């Protein structure tokens, strides 16, 4: 009998086709009545393919008596109740490394966009204001600025490399100082913000990092400061960020992620000192294909050899 896979969201077409051809697939996110669809397959499901946008709760895990593996499409797996999976002995895999460069590029793209007013400039040209009003107000230089990276994991380190190539001084914060890393370390986000003009959020989301960037951290960053978030929306207290941006407590923000995606507060959308993206860090053809291939390879290896490539 073919293995039964419950899919929580889409993956690119080529790998989707492979799954459809080799397994029995239920596309839960497309079902009109997901509860009913789940009821019909729950005893047969042996694998879940999850994405950042469909929660894999303890309730779901425990409703699937034969679940063996969750193959997650993404590096951040905060949408999965890992404790519940572990308790049940369910294997969990993610897609690290393949998305590191693109996500770091997005961090730099947002930084450049805010400092050099790229989106405002684009609107200025398209709307004919250039011809009517003349030159646009000036942006700010990146060279010589200080960037504080919150979470120097794979993506944080890739951002550090890029930032240094732009002539930016880099420091970082995290749970502990990294061995072999020759960058200034600050034990907490507030101290890092105080020493920085760009606060680059790259850490994983957990109860520990929930609202790690709050009003005191934003105040410490100060009036010249810019926050960039390429990690998870809930790491920043979004309302505090909006207040800080509206009142000029900080200078700007570049955000790829939000607290309640895909809902972005209209008060944030009205600000012109922010640049917003719809969670696009890994969103290139090349990277999404590599992520999807890893999802498929983890499943295939698990079912064929009881091994996986990238366990969590």
Binding residue for ligand 8YV, selected from 73, 124, 172, 302, defined by CB under 6 A: 73
210 is catalytic: no
Q: Give the integer Cα–Cα distance in Å for 67 and 5.
A: 9
Catalytic residue among 72, 232, 238, 288: 232
Residue (193 or 257) nearer to ligand 8YV, CB = 257
Only one of the segments 142-150, 209-217, 221-229, 276-284 lies at the binding site for ligand 8YV (rule: CB under 6 A); that segment is 276-284
Q: Give the integer Cα–Cα distance in Å for 107 and 104.
A: 5
Q: Is 279 in the site for ligand 8YV (CB under 6 A)?
A: yes
Angstrom CA distances, 16 to 11, 118, 157, 174, stand at: 6, 36, 32, 37
Q: In angstroms, how far apart are the furthest CA atoms of the chain?
A: 70
Q: Is 52 in the site for ligand 8YV (CB under 6 A)?
A: yes
Q: Give the integer Cα–Cα distance in Å for 244 and 242.
A: 5
Q: Is 15 in the site for ligand 8YV (CB under 6 A)?
A: no
Residue (75 or 147) nearer to ligand 8YV, CB = 75
Q: Binding string to ligand 8YV for residues 85 to 104, with x set by CB under 6 A, is what?
A: --------------x-----
Cβ count near 206 (within 10 Å): 14
Buried b (16+ CB within 10 A) or exposed e, 15-32: bbebbeeebbbbbbeeee
Residues 6+ apart with CB under 8 A from 216: 190
Residue (116 or 154) nearer to ligand 8YV, CB = 154
Q: Sheet harboring 45-50: ordered strands across?
A: 24-27, 4-7, 45-50, 69-72, 91-93
Residue (73 or 186) nearer to ligand 8YV, CB = 73
304 is catalytic: no
232 is catalytic: yes
Q: Is 75 in the site for ligand 8YV (CB under 6 A)?
A: yes
The β-bridge relationship of strands 69-72 and 45-50 is parallel
Q: Is 76 in the site for ligand 8YV (CB under 6 A)?
A: yes
Binding residue for ligand 8YV, selected from 19, 49, 64, 74, defined by CB under 6 A: 74
Q: Which residues bind ligand 8YV (CB under 6 A)?
A: 51-53, 73-76, 99, 279, 281-282
The residues carrying an active-site annotation are 232, 261, 279
């Amino acid at each position: 009998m073919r293995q039964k896979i419950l899919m929580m969201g889409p993956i690119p077409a080529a790998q989707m086709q492979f799954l459809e051809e080799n397994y029995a697939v239920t596309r839960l996110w497309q079902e009109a009545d997901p509860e009913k669809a789940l009821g019909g397959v729950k005893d047969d499901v042996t694998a879940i393919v999850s994405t950042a946008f469909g929660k894999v709760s303890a309730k779901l895990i425990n409703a699937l008596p034969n679940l063996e593996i969750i193959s997650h499409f993404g590096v951040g797996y905060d949408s999965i109740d890992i404790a519940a999976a572990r308790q049940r002995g369910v294997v969990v895999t993610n897609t690290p490394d393949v998305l590191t460069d693109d996500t770091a590029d997005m961090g730099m793209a947002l930084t450049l966009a805010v400092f050099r007013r790229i989106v405002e400039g684009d609107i200025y040209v398209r709307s004919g204001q250039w011809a009517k009003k003349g030159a646009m107000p000036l942006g700010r230089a990146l060279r010589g600025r200080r960037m504080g990276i919150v979470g120097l994991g794979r993506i944080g380190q890739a951002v550090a490399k890029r930032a240094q190539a732009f002539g930016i001084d880099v420091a970082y914060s995290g749970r502990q100082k990294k061995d072999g890393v020759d960058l200034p370390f600050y034990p907490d986000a507030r101290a890092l913000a105080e020493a920085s003009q760009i606060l680059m959020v790259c850490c994983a989301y957990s109860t520990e990092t929930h609202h790690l960037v709050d009003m005191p951290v934003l105040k410490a960053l100060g009036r010249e400061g810019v926050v960039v978030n390429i990690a998870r929306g809930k790491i920043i207290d979004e309302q505090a960020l909006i207040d800080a941006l509206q009142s000029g407590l900080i200078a700007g923000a570049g955000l790829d992620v939000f607290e309640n995606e895909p809902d972005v507060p209209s008060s944030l959308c009205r600000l012109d000192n922010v640049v917003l993206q719809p969670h696009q860090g890994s969103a290139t053809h090349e990277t999404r294909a590599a992520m999807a291939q890893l999802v498929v390879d983890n499943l295939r290896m698990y079912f064929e050899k009881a091994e996986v490539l990238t366990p969590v």
